Amino acid sequence: MTTRSKGPGAGFGWLTRGIDVARRHPRPLLGGAGLLLVACLLPSLATLPFQFHAMQPGAQPNPVVFGGLMLFSMLLGLLVVPLYAGYLQVIDAAERGQRPRARDIFKPYAQGQAPRLIGYALVLMVVFVALFALVLLAAGGGLVGWYMQAIAAQANHLPPPGLPAGFMSTFALLMVLWLFLMGFYAISLGQVSLGNRSVLGSIGDGVTGALKNVLPLLVFALSLTLVWIVATIALVLLVLVVGLLAKLVGMWLVFVLAIPLYILMVLAMYAVMFGVMYHLWRDVCGDDAAAGLAPAAI
């Protein structure tokens, strides 16, 4: 499997095409995003008891309980990964002129692809944890302890602790790691979902593809930052307008307008995010995908 190196401008193209695909196919993408959002929220419910306990005055966070709840939530999250693949398949079908439906995100379960995709997610989880652990050990060993102290301070209504030594270097390393993982995840998920690649083959393609395209990934990150700033300004202006209307008409207008707009914004973000991932994958190795083949084994 060949992975291609793209020019710097490709990073901006991934963002614009990701936005455009959501605009051109709103029905299946927004509908599928709604189903995906509900599925993604379910694993987070496992941590709610800990969050409620941590909010009680005088409560001390238990690292063991916290870690156990997070692990349980991550394991539940593995069951959502086949839906990510199904969502990419919906985008692919829409881009190929077909007529996918929102519920097609469940096709990996119906077609027996879920075990391979869950296996991919397990390998990916090990890779992510190992990489983040290396960064924390190399430049910020006290960051975890500082985080737990910050949670305890918030629960007891105390000032947050000062930043630990090495915080800025850890932050810089994490930003570099995030840039790499962004391309790695998009390419590897595209390969295992659409490229009929094995789990380990998809992981390898993700590594080589991301390393070959560091510069366009950087351009994409910068473009995303600019778009996010513009979107934030627009959102602030929208909030001000809704607030003004609420004063003139009543607070009920805030709920009538704000809640649907918020949900629509979240669904649009899902659609754009996966649209970007799809076009990133297609640019780097999409033309090499063999359509119609049986799913590969691990």
pLDDT digit string, tens, across residues 234-282: 888 888 887 787 777 777 777 777 788 889 999 999 999 999 999 999 9
Instruction: For 24-36, write each residue's pLDDT tens digit.
Output: 999 999 999 999 9
Q: Of 78-82, 165-169, 222-226, which gets the smallest average pLDDT?
A: 165-169
Percent of the chain at pLDDT exceeding 90: 49
Q: Which two tokens stand for residue 83?
A: 């839906």
pLDDT at 233 over 60: yes
Report which secondary-structure segment, H or E, holds 109.
helix 107-110
Encode pLDDT of 148-195 as tens digits: 777 776 666 677 777 766 677 777 788 888 899 999 999 999 999 998
What's the CA gap between 91 and 97, in Å, rounded? 10
- Within 13 Å of residue 131, how many CA atoms lie on the same side as its CB? 17
In whole angstroms, give the CA distance from residue 136 to residue 130: 10
CA distances (Å), 89 to each of 108, 113, 272, 284, in order? 9, 12, 15, 17
What's the mean pLDDT when you consider all of the chain? 83
Long-range contacts of 261-266 (CB under 8 A, 24+ apart): 264/30, 265/235, 266/33, 266/37
The band of 90, judged by pLDDT with boundaries at 50, 70 and 90, is: very high
Please check whether residue 261 is in contact with residue 238, taking contact to mean a CB–CB distance below 8 angstroms: yes
**Planar angle of CA 13, 34, 89, nearest 5 degrees:** 55
Residue 232 has pLDDT above 60, yes or no: yes
- Separation of alpha carbons 272 and 267, rounded Å: 9
